[in-house]
Amino acid sequence: MRGLTSLAAFALCIAAGCASGRLPDARGMDVIVKSRPSAVAADATGARTIEKATQCDVEFVRLLASGAFVIRLWPTQRAPEVQKCLTQLKALPGVEYAEPDAAMKAS
């Protein structure tokens, strides 16, 4: 049944003209990335580099004061599981860390 749902989502995406192939009902994941600037730039160019490596749709969100940056990973038809994209991102040469951006609470 899930395959049928993905197929229907893909058909809706095609009908809506989704250029990126992003699934229309998909949930993105914000990720904090720290890398060597020579490996992955902390800007939209770096987001495109990550997009090519992971096959996920990647959106640059913001630069952090630490030099790390936040991106949003979106699942696509070619890469429907964002967690796998995160694993591939962590494996890129020059990436020091890539972790989900989760809300922190004081204890």
The band of 23, judged by pLDDT with boundaries at 50, 70 and 90, is low
**Domain 2-100, CATH:** 3.30.70
The pTM for the full model equals 0.73
pLDDT given at position 34: 96
Residue with tokens 């630490």: 66
Q: Are 78 and 88 in contact (CB under 8 A)?
A: no
**Domain boundaries of the chain, sorted by first residue:** 2-100
d(CA 68, CA 62): 9
Answer whether residue 21 shows pLDDT above 70: no
Given pLDDT bands bounded at 50, 70 and 90, which one contains residue 38? confident
Residue pair 85/55 in contact by the 8 Å Cβ criterion = yes
Strand partners, 71: 31, 60
Predicted pLDDT at 79: 82
